[in-house]
Chain A
């Protein structure tokens, strides 16, 4: 049973309440036994075997109902605290035996005539059944069913006169029922009825156990297959990504050839230019070719770094991303005096664009949608980019999966975004964190080290 700590404490309190109920030889028990005793006397006086069977049924049911809370309390405690116990999962269940022994000791101290050996046979069989169900069981209902079934089976066996030689029955009324059956010559009837119900309940418990066991094994197989499929999918995505990157590299690399041609021809034009204005245009063309060349290098080689101010980077990002704005309020809050960054501008700007685009997607259809991009310095040379939105958020259970290649909350994305973000940020020796609350919004924090010999942008 997977559960949180407060729930664990509530379940533990419930278990102690159940154990207390089972361990207390209350007036209700004595009174109900008296009712059965009265029924038994009536059966003897009237010589009515039907009444004898009815008394047996009442006794068996009551004995089982009194047994169940104690046994269940043990299983509940083990189920809830299983992960914190030092033994293997199935060994833990044997701790139910000493737990119920304590309850029985408390009953014995109150003078109860309860059939203790019978109770232990019930627990031993139930422990085996619960172990057979497997580690994956999370529902407690099958345990309740099996405890009830096995309890009824063993308690019916208690009142079968043919099994009197088995030293498990010491109950007052069990003895009374067998004596009455002996007197009324109803032993055969009681043997047949008792055996029938005992076998019926034992069989039912066995069937429940095996069904649950088979069902849980199937579930486990399905989950295993799902994990395998996910891994295959992940590998496919990685292969696809590698292929795309390779194609992109080839294409970008091919850009260098025409660039070199432009540069060469441009320098020829510059040399032969009589007009100073034309020469100036040529120098500008050459400068632009340099810039394009640098960008191509950054795209091709991750390790290429360039010093840039935060403002320059944000301006570059804004130029690419805000055109997609669809009704959301976008707030830029850039602190002053931030350190210079030494980054791969193209890649880092893609990182920020990716995160901001995710925020746009998350806020589509949200009233008063707002995306805030905050940049500030921390501990002197660290620059923090904080992109937050008030969108639909990410469910808590899926938050740790967002970094996986192929993970996407929207069906339209290939799910490469945040995995790419983390890879690039980590290549820059930075860190990225995400926090989200479903229905409230998401915040992505990227921290990057400033350039070592940086000058403040104020300079």
Chain B
């Protein structure tokens, strides 16, 4: 019986180790740790792109950094009135969309129009991606490509940048990009946007 129990324990360990050796892509180094000079001023409008929890988290980070901001789940072009910068937290969440009773297409259209309106009003746009590999995939990547053209700065966590997707977007659109280790490390580059 002991041998069997040991066998099962060994099997669980082998499964966990086996999964940990899943192919991982190259690790991308941060292209710049933060912006050399501020590019935007307060007050910031924070909105999620995909209705993930990231929007609220970014807004809370702004609060921690004493960046004057307002968080809106469903910010539309007319809501930009009175704001000097726009922060978009990318990450699609089925649960988030369901709670607002919205579809993916509606969300893509809203965020695209919002970025376009910000560009027209000369309002700097910061695109933040915190969700790592789990918040990548068709919908997220497609929206990132659409938004990149109107974005002024990209901050992305290392887990979501294993394939160099965001650095590639930044290169294509000639915009600065910062790759950070985790959610709490977003503070430094985000602060550099305003100060």
Please list the residues of chain A having a beta carbon within 8 angstroms of any beta carbon in chain B. 30, 33-34, 37, 40-41, 44-45, 47, 111, 113, 121, 125, 128, 132, 163-170, 172-176, 179-180, 182-183, 185, 202, 206, 210, 213-214
Q: Given A128-B8, A164-B159 in contact, is the A179-B1 Cβ separation under 8 Å?
A: no
- Bound-state CA distance A168–B68 (Å) is 38
A170→B184 contact, CB < 8 A: no
Contact of A179 among B11, B15, B53, B133 (CB under 8 A): B53
Q: Mark B166-195 against chain A: 1 for CB-CB distance below 8 A, else 0.
A: 000000000000000011100000000000
Can you report 28 residue pairs joining A to B where beta carbons are below 8 Å apart?
A33-B98, A34-B98, A44-B53, A44-B56, A44-B57, A45-B60, A113-B95, A125-B12, A128-B8, A132-B4, A164-B159, A165-B24, A166-B16, A166-B19, A166-B22, A172-B93, A174-B134, A175-B52, A175-B91, A175-B93, A176-B93, A179-B52, A180-B53, A183-B57, A183-B61, A183-B184, A206-B5, A206-B8
**CA A128 to CA B7, docked complex, whole Å:** 11
**Residues in B whose Cβ lies below 8 Å from that of A165:** 20, 22, 24
Q: Which residues of chain A have C-beta atoms less than 8 A from B16's C-beta?
A: 163, 166
Within 8 Å by CB of B52, from A30, A132, A176, A210, lies A176
How far is A176 from B12 in the complex, measured between Cα atoms in Å?
A: 26
Q: Which chain A positions have C-beta within 8 A of B61? A: 183
CB distance from A420 to the nearest CB of B (A): 48
Main SS of the interface on chain A?
helix
Q: List A contacts of B133 (CB < 8 A).
A: 167
Q: Select from chain B the residue with minimum beta-carbon distance to A157.
A: B16
Which residues does chain B contribute within 8 Å of A125, judged by CB atoms? 12
- A167 & B19 in contact (Cβ 8 Å cutoff): yes
Q: How far is the CA of A166 from the CA of B16 in the complex (A)?
A: 7
| CB-based contact B130/A179 at 8 Å | yes
Beyond A41-B56, A165-B22, A169-B134, 15 additional contacts (C-beta under 8 Å) are A33-B95, A37-B95, A45-B56, A47-B60, A121-B15, A128-B11, A132-B8, A166-B16, A167-B22, A172-B95, A172-B96, A175-B52, A179-B54, A202-B12, A206-B5
CA gap between A194 and B56 in the complex, in Å: 24
Min CB–CB distance A107 → chain B (angstroms): 12
Contact mask for chain B residues 45-67; partner A; CB cutoff 8 A; 1 contact, 0 none: 00000001110110011000000
Residue of B nearest to A124 (CB): B15
Complex interface residues of chain B between 13 and 42 (CB less than 8 A to chain A): 15-16, 19-20, 22, 24
Known A41-B53, A170-B134: A113·B94 in contact at CB below 8 Å: yes
Q: Find chain A residues with CB under 8 A from B93 CB.
A: 172, 175-176
**CB-defined contacts of A47 to chain B, threshold 8 Å:** 60
Q: Is the CB of B183 within 8 A of A179?
A: yes
Count of interface residues, chain B, beta-carbon cutoff 8 Å = 36
Smallest CB–CB gap between A448 and chain B, Å?
Answer: 59
Chain B: minimal CB distance from A342 (Å): 65
A44 touches B60 (CB 8 A): yes
Residues of B contacting A166 with CB < 8 Å?
Answer: 16, 19-20, 22
B99 at the interface (CB under 8 A from A): yes
Contact of A168 among B19, B52, B98 (CB under 8 A): B19
Cβ 8 A contact of A164, one of B91, B99, B132: B132
Q: List, in ascending order, chain A residues with CB within 8 A of B95's CB.
A: 30, 33-34, 37, 113, 172-173, 176
| Chain B residue at smallest Cβ distance from A176 | B53
Residue among B5, B57, B159 making CB contact with A210, cutoff 8 Å: B5
Smallest CB–CB gap between B63 and chain A, Å?
A: 10
A170–B137 Cα distance when bound, in Å, is: 11
Over the window 125-159 of chain B, the binary record of Cβ atoms lying under 8 Å from chain A Cβ atoms (1 yes, 0 no) is: 00000111111000000000000000000000001
With both beta carbons as reference points, the residue of chain B lying nearest to A163 in the complex is identified as B16
With both beta carbons as reference points, the residue of chain B lying nearest to A121 in the complex is identified as: B15
Given the complex of chains A and B, what is the CA–CA distance between A185 and B60 in angstroms?
A: 13
Counting chain A CB atoms within 10 Å of each CB, which of B57, B91, B95, B130 scores highest? B95
Nearest A-chain residue to B9, judged by Cβ: A206
Could you tell me if A182 and B183 are in contact, using CB atoms closer than 8 angstroms? yes
Shortest CB-to-CB span from B153 to chain A, Å, is 20
Residue of B nearest to A217 (CB): B1
With both beta carbons as reference points, the residue of chain A lying nearest to B58 in the complex is identified as: A183
Query: With a CB–CB cut-off of 8 A, which chain B residues contact A113?
Result: 94-95
Inter-chain CA distance A206–B4, complex, in Å, is 11
Docked Cα-Cα span, A163 to B54, in Å, equals 20
Which B residue sits closest to A111, measured CB to CB? B94
**Known contacts A45-B56, A179-B54; A210 and B94 CB within 8 A of each other:** no
Residue from B8, B96, B132, B134 whose CB has the most chain A CB atoms within 10 Å: B134
Chain B residues whose C-beta falls within 8 Å of the C-beta of A175 in the assembled complex: 52, 91, 93, 131-132, 134-135
